[in-house]
Homo-oligomer: A and B are copies of this chain.
Amino acid sequence: MLFLARMDVVFPDSMDPEVMADFQVKEKAYSADLQSRGIMKAIWRVVGEYANYSIFDVDDHDELHAILSGFPMFKYMNVKITALAKHPNALEYYLKG
């Protein structure tokens, strides 16, 4: 079951650069794990913004909320999700790699 998510990150101006770098390292590891487990099917940078669009494949809403709220930087993110269904014109449900 697919969801499109848009995540915008806003760090407080006073955040220490090392703290920020540490968040980014943890975020990368968390994100890599989700991708390798087939839960996060894609993540792209929105050009010009500290934001991403990503695709999640989950079994239910409780799982998705646990995943999203588990992001190390969740406290600093605005997340909006859109539920996606199969499109009648789609040849395949997912992207071609």
User: A residues near B, CB below 8 A?
Assistant: 1-5, 12-13, 27-28, 31-32, 35-36, 38, 41-49, 52-53, 55, 60-62, 64-65, 68-69, 75, 78-92, 94-97
By Cβ-Cβ distance, the 9 closest A-B pairs, closest first, are: A95-B95, A48-B79, A44-B84, A65-B85, A31-B89, A47-B83, A42-B95, A61-B85, A45-B85
Chain A interface helix/strand/loop/mixed: mixed
Number of copies: 10
Neighbour of A44 across the interface among B35, B64, B85, CB < 8 A: B85
Q: Which of B27, B47, B62, B89 sits near A68, CB closer than 8 Å?
A: B47
From B2, B32, B61, B89, contact of A28 by CB (8 A): B89
